Homo-oligomer: A and B are copies of this chain.
Amino acid sequence: MNEFYQNDIISIKDYNKEQIEKIFVATDKIMQLNPSDRREICKGKTLGYLFYEPSTRTRLSFDAAMASIGGNSLGIADVLSSSAQKGESLADTVRIMSIYSDILILRHTLDGSSRFAAEISDKPVINAGSGTEEHPTQAIQDLFTIKKEKKKIDGLKIGIIGDLKYGRTVYSLLYGLGNYDVDVRLISPESLRIRHDSIYEIKKRLDFTESTNLEEHIDDLDVLYVTRIQKERFPDEEEYLKVKGSYVVGLDLLKQMKDDSIILHPLPRIDEISPDVDKTKNAKYFEQAEYGKHTRAALLSMILNENGF
């Protein structure tokens, strides 16, 4: 029996390096299957999704992953605006959805929502983003992309740039990287630095430096992970425009980077990365999106099949 069978995926913190590497192996295996063999893995299984915070991207990634292994998806793409759900508790909605499906995908604004759902549901639950810190399948997708494109994770110099305060993908990635021996540089405007209340927890797991200046790290990085800076985060537009300019990744910046460095982004991107970067060999954010489909397919396959696949 594989250890993921019928188990929940709640927090990236719950996984050690060995387990993460097992997911990588499964993903490699699933990517090598031909489509019709792949569709046998979860044939006829049903994924049920509940999104209390709409996220078209993550939902479609799970939907496409499930379709690729022969299953189907149903659920509620925007629970809060769904009139029929008005006033129903999360517990009841989770119970009902677990009747309709073999595995539950939950996105919710609150920390702890997925763990709560997992206690209630008699079907396994995957956290598709919760609260301020957790998006475990995004972290796995990101780690897999680094491993795949750089052939290793240990020993890499990884810059993470943009909005480090509000982006939950950053936190999940950092906790995931905590399993590896990496040198992390957090680069952001002063006002968007990583949150104080998380900094100690991250420090326990990982060595990192903080900086506001991308230029001082740029020639040293193996991986540059870019996130979006949202205008709404700034009280003053003036302030935003000043900051924005200095964090746009363009061809000029790319020239300063190592030849074999890679650029990642969880997407959607607005203008943090200039489109002329897309066709360079360093741009790996669309590969990252594709790996997201495969890592999710691998997770679903292991959770739903006792003996793996």
Q: How far is the CA of A110 from the CA of B19 in the complex (A)?
A: 48
Q: How far is the CA of A270 from the CA of B56 in the complex (A)?
A: 28
Closest residue of chain B to A102 (Cβ to Cβ) is B35
CB distance from A220 to the nearest CB of B (A): 28
Q: How far is the CA of A240 from the CA of B91 in the complex (A)?
A: 25
> Are B268 and A88 in contact, CB atoms less than 8 angstroms apart?
yes
Size category, A interface: 35 or more
Interface centre among A61, A87, A96 (most CB of B within 10 A): A96
> Are B60 and A75 in contact, CB atoms less than 8 angstroms apart?
yes
- Chain B residues near A68 (CB-CB < 8 A): 46
Pick the contact of A268 from B39, B63, B85 — CB < 8 Å? B85
> Are A84 and B270 in contact, CB atoms less than 8 angstroms apart?
no
Q: How far is the CA of A95 from the CA of B84 in the complex (A)?
A: 27
Q: Binding site of A, secondary structure by majority: helix, strand, loop or mixed? A: helix
Further pairs besides A44-B70, A99-B293: 20, Cβ < 8 Å: A35-B44, A39-B44, A55-B84, A56-B76, A56-B83, A56-B85, A60-B74, A60-B75, A60-B97, A61-B100, A72-B72, A84-B268, A88-B267, A88-B268, A89-B275, A91-B275, A95-B289, A96-B286, A99-B290, A100-B293
- Sorted from nearest, which 3 A-B pairs have the closest CB atoms? A64-B100, A56-B84, A88-B268
Binding site for B on A (CB under 8 A): 35-36, 39, 43-44, 46, 54-57, 60-61, 63-64, 67-68, 70, 72-76, 82-89, 91-93, 95-97, 99-101, 267-270, 275, 286, 289-290, 293
